[in-house]
Structure 1
């Protein structure tokens, strides 16, 4: 069972960021990861966030996904003011965002199926969780590897499991942070083709941090960040 029917027309989430600031303490000083960022992403768009290492690409995604909390500014995703959330409302918002990371972050002792299921375990749902997880593994081409542990899978296969896990909560927004950074170029191309297909079929907005120009060129829009600022 797919999270959404094939050919879904759901358009994804709108994003609006205004005056976003995030500072990190480092030694005796302060590093500014986001410096007065303003950004608007329409529903269903694919946007690449580019820039050198340490420029603030990941920080921006982490702030929008509520992994980090902003020091100043405002983040709105659809009608939700993310910067004003706390407690259960914040947890509920996070559960509705799909994350794909460079390092996969799979639990090594769990099977591929259980890794995909993991985000749903604390949530009461009106659907069969196992059926949805199995359907997503089939969508990413791993329907026959559901019992395999991460150590038994290639890097590309692990990233496919991570993508299935990101989609299991039916997100309208998918945040991908260097999704091909740990993969060779051929496998990276396969993963990006998969992401684009799933984006279209599941109806999502895709915001992707990448340093690879070839990936950014596939997006509808590119936003370049340097020293925490959009340039």
Structure 2
């Protein structure tokens, strides 16, 4: 059982519109949701269902049109620019396409997000420790093009942990990987969740990834269609079958 020290999330009446032509599109439509600290939650649903937008709202990449998001006691939907930037620095982000800087080494890619900020930490030492945690000892001087897709995603995960986040947001973190590598990345995320005491929210189309989370939330047209607790001790095969029936 992992120690609970991640961020607790409380979302109420959340709405986000995007304008397509002359008509507004509700990407997130009146979502109300609580996520326990230290849990790993999978957001599922078809393309366009609002998974990525909800992640972006929680991470303050997008601004909500209505509703509130509280991260612990911090109401991020009312923060001004400087406070929002400070909040974003406390959140880890992992994306499907890795977003590594091709001209930088693996080590420098991991360090890059914290370089603009004053800190007493030894960036290089921490980055090397994180690379060891994700299984990339000895690849510190490699360039991204010299790595496999799974290795690049491991670098991206190490980079997301540099600022010691209590909340990690992952958007299709296994989407560009084969099933074996995808499962390895999920194993890594689960282990790191326990070791670093984080809350993890991930958006995924992968049924097997979703079925190994603590909780599965399926979105349809920006609304919550299903919300399943997967920590009830059910056999993993039955859990996957149940997830599959929801047509993730």
- List runs of 5+ in structure 2 lacking aligned partners: 226-248
**Other-structure match for 1:107:** 101
Distance, in Å, in 1 between the alignment partners of 2:19 and 2:224 is 21
Pairs within 5 Å for 1:22-171: 22-171=16-165
| CA displacement, residues 9-55 of structure 1 (integer Å, 9 cap, x when unaligned) | 45200000000000001122221110000010010011111100110
Alignment: residue pair count? 225
Query: Would you say the 8 A contact 1:223–1:230 is kept in 2?
Result: yes
Q: Relative to structure 1, is the Cα distance of residues 182 and 69 closer, same or farther in structure 2, using a 3 angstrom cutoff?
A: same
Q: Relative to structure 1, is the Cα distance of residues 8 and 41 closer, same or farther in structure 2, using a 3 angstrom cutoff?
A: closer
Distance, in Å, in 1 between the alignment partners of 2:119 and 2:4 is 20
**Greater relative contact order structure (CA < 8 Å, 6+ sep):** 1
| CA displacement, residues 179-219 of structure 1 (integer Å, 9 cap, x when unaligned) | 00000111101111111110100000011111111111111
Distance, in Å, in 2 between the alignment partners of 1:10 and 1:59 is 26
Correspondence for 1:219 among 205, 213, 216: 213
**Other-structure match for 1:176:** 170
Q: Does 1:185 align with 2:169?
A: no
Q: Relative to structure 1, is the Cα distance of residues 39 and 226 closer, same or farther in structure 2, using a 3 angstrom cutoff?
A: same
Distance, in Å, in 2 between the alignment partners of 1:10 and 1:147 is 35
Distance, in Å, in 2 between the alignment partners of 1:79 and 1:65 is 15
SS at match of 1:83: helix
Shift of 1:125: 0.9
| CA displacement, residues 76-111 of structure 1 (integer Å, 9 cap, x when unaligned) | 001111101122211110000011111101111111
Distance, in Å, in 1 between the alignment partners of 2:183 and 2:14 is 32
Shift of 1:8: 8.3
Distance, in Å, in 2 between the alignment partners of 1:64 and 1:36 is 14
Shift of 1:58: 0.4
SS at match of 1:137: helix
- List runs of 5+ in structure 1 lacking aligned partners: 1-6
When the two chains are superposed, the root-mean-square deviation of aligned CA atoms in Å is 1.2
Distance, in Å, in 1 between the alignment partners of 2:123 and 2:129 is 10
Q: Which aligned runs of 4 or more in structure 1 are off by greater than 6 angstroms?
A: none
Distance, in Å, in 1 between the alignment partners of 2:209 and 2:139 is 28
Distance, in Å, in 2 between the alignment partners of 1:10 and 1:124 is 28
Distance, in Å, in 1 between the alignment partners of 2:98 and 2:25 is 26
- Scaled by the length of structure 2, the TM-score of the pair is 0.89
Shift of 1:225: 0.4
